[in-house]
Structure 1
Amino acid sequence: MSGSKKWVLGLIVLAFIVPLLRPVFPEVVSDYRLFLVSTMIIASIAVLGLNLLTGFNGQFSLGHGAFYAVGAYTAAILMDKLNVPYWATIPAAAIVCFIVGYLFGLPALKLEGHYLALATFALALAVPQILKYKWLEGLTGGVQGIVLMKPEVPFGLPLSEDQWLYYFCLIVMIVLFWAAANLLNSRSGRAMMAIRDQYMAADTMGIDTALYKTVTFGISAAYTGIAGALSASAIAFVAPDSFGIFLSIKFLIGLVVGGIGSLLGSVLGGIFYVLVDNSAQSLTQFIRNDLGLPFDLSAYTVFGVLLIAIIYLMPMGIAGGLYMAYRKLRGARA
């Protein structure tokens, strides 16, 4: 087993053990913090979906918040209207979002660069409005959305709802990242990256670029849709206004900050996105109350400042910066 695989396995084991230490460290391993980590896991899966499309296939998207919304509403409607178990909504959301992404990818074949970005931007703008449409209110709940119940702990396990949700999200994340790693190391993954690196050369070598681009769009949408389905179960509520255009932009910021074209970057990007989103209000209160400065910082302000700083200091993202630091440290030791 290589050193990197040992590190990954060690982190997975640690992630499973930490919640069990709650009786020893009740304040550190609280339900709120486990819920926060669960949202980081969900965001990491969503960023991974965008990474597969943009980082590994070279197609630029500003509309992955739409696929996130489709996945969330697929899960919510199945649970609310048909009493489908929450775990069964995950594959259903993946299938629905794959179909939507594949169908959207077909006309997108004729678009490149900023034209594709504008098309996906339009999709992200349209989906929340479609969810509010009065003819769909009986299904989507309209502006009010759908209120759900949090997943119950199965098999009588001695866990809280947030502990079980954390484990459920963690298991889904491990499976999805394992599948993505295997995909990228396969012949299909090499074809995806060949299209990203040199489209004309890949086409000349006999790679079916149209097929790979549409399938990649579908797989990317499926990953993001699964994240949306998990968020519906975690938050127990979906509403159209939760899936505005800024959600797609946050996914993109998380991808750039974490590291484009890196599986580790997807995890770091998801953590960054949730931490900044949740700490902006606390930072504003600290500046106004403790420092006495008349400033209000929104999450977008903090996102912007940190994004500029990280791009300046680490142009390849946090994952790339860590890799370069590791190489320098290894060279210094040698």
Structure 2
Amino acid sequence: MSALQEIVETPPIETTPKKYMALGTYASVVVVVLLCAAPLIAKNFVIFQMTMVLIYAIAVLALNILTGGSGQFSLGQSAFYALGAYTSAILMEVFGVNYALTLPVAGGICFIAGYLFGLPALRLSGIYLALATFALATAMPQLLKLHYFEAWTGGVQGLVITKPDAPFGLPLSQDMWLYYFVLVVSMAIYVASVNLLKSRSGRAMMAIRDNEIAASAMGVDVALYKTLAFGVSAGITGVAGGLGAIAVQFVAPDSYTIQLAIALFLGMVVGGVGWLPGSIVGAAFIVFVPNIAEHFSKGLSGAVFGLILVLIIFVLPHGSRQIAYTVQGWFHKLRK
């Protein structure tokens, strides 16, 4: 089969139309108010869990830009998450850099890594691209254990990170301050991502997603925008990795295995492919559903988790966006 035949016969990814990629103004305000008020009535461990939901939401959103925006499958996001986490950890603990300043560095390094990985990946598509990224995710933990980098990475033992205190003497606990810091970063990334997909570059990516041959015929630089999508997705994932390292206060190679990449992919599917607000729903699924499954049965938690996932896929094949559209339809009927 020729490369042209493979591209033509690859089924299109069912995603969200551009005008439905973000929440409306009123819904966005309600969500932001709820997110800001939640830590005021929660305990520190719950605040930590909500912080991890926001961090994973950033990583799921990054994958959504790659798959839902440009139509490229990836099972290697855990590699860029690990790279971002180690970048922030090394800058903080080895070089004494402020935690906030490590995030743009982590994002920039991961952007370059993702862009460079996207160049040879241009020759791949569909399941072949997924397998290539799967290999990247599998190799990354082993690379981090190499003795060449042990002076910086800590090898198998990893690195311990000091959790930052609230600045300016604010009367906030470490967990609460970190939650609000992550919330601000995640909101900024969300707004920037929505604007990206609505921009000329976003329209080019979605044209490639829908029909690569037609996009090329219309003058879209397919190679440029496919590698750009990889770079942007990896850069955002790197920021999420840096935030995750700060929140967990520890980085180790075995924390970033292929299971993390699969979890992020599941989060994208549950949230809704191409629907950016669904990223936080998918992230909540990653954080809370395994605990719920273990609550039902510790010995069969994996089976319960799988059963919940299959049930969600059958009942909500389009993820959380299906619920959002249904609720939106009810509100429109009530207004009329």
The two structures, once aligned, show a CA RMSD in angstroms of 1.7
**Partner residue of 1:248?**
261
Q: CA deviation at 1:3?
A: 8.6
In structure 2, what residue type is equivalent to 1:227?
A
Per-residue deviation, residues 256-296 of structure 1 (Å, max 9, x unmatched): 111000011111111111112333333325xxxxxxxxxx1
Q: Is the 8 A contact 2:76 2:137 kept in 1?
A: yes
Aligned to 2:314: 312
Q: Are 1:111 and 2:124 counterparts? A: yes
Tell me if the contact between 1:65 and 1:244 (Cα under 8 Å) persists in the aligned partners: yes
- The answer to which of 92-101 and 308-317 deviates more is 308-317
* 8 A Cα contact 2:296 2:304, kept in partner: no
Is 2:161–2:250's contact at 8 Å kept on the other side of the alignment? yes
Query: Aligned partner of 1:5: which letter?
Result: T
Match of 2:204 in 1: 191
Of 68, 82, 91, which aligns to 1:78? 91
Q: TM-score scaled by structure 1?
A: 0.90
SS in 2 for 1:54: helix
The residue number in structure 1 matching 2:163 is 150
What does 1:319-330 align with in structure 2 at a 5 Å threshold?
319-327=321-329, 330=332
Displacement of 1:328 after TM fit?
5.9
Q: CA deviation at 1:304?
A: 2.0
* CA displacement at 1:56 relative to structure 2: 1.2
Q: 1:13 offset after TM fit, Å? A: 2.7
State which of 27, 37, 41 in structure 2 corresponds to 1:7: 27
- Within-5 A mapping of 1:221-232: 221-232=234-245
Pairing 1:139-288 to 2, within 5 Å after superposition: 139-285=152-298
Q: Distance in 2 between matches of 1:333 and 1:82?
A: 57
How many residues are aligned here?
Answer: 315
- CA shift, 1:333, in A, is 7.5
TM-score, length of structure 2 as denominator length: 0.90
Is the Cα–Cα contact under 8 Å of residues 276 and 302 in structure 1 kept in the other structure?
Answer: no
Residues 88, 242 of structure 2: 8 Å contact kept: yes
The answer to whether the 8 Å contact 1:310/1:318 transfers is no
Question: Which consecutive residues of structure 1, in runs of 5 or more, have no partner in the other structure?
Answer: 22-27, 286-295
How much does 1:10 deviate?
Answer: 2.7
One-letter code aligned to 2:191: W
How far, CA to CA, are the matches of 2:334 and 2:34 in structure 1? 30
The residue number in structure 2 matching 1:293 is: none
What amino acid is aligned across from residue 135 of structure 1 in structure 2? Answer: Y
Q: How does 1:1-40 map to 2 (within 5 A)?
A: 4-19=24-39, 21=40, 28-40=41-53
The residue type equivalent to 2:300 in the other structure is L
Q: Distance in 1 between matches of 2:265 and 2:47?
A: 25
Q: Which moves more between the two structures, 131-140 or 160-169? A: 131-140
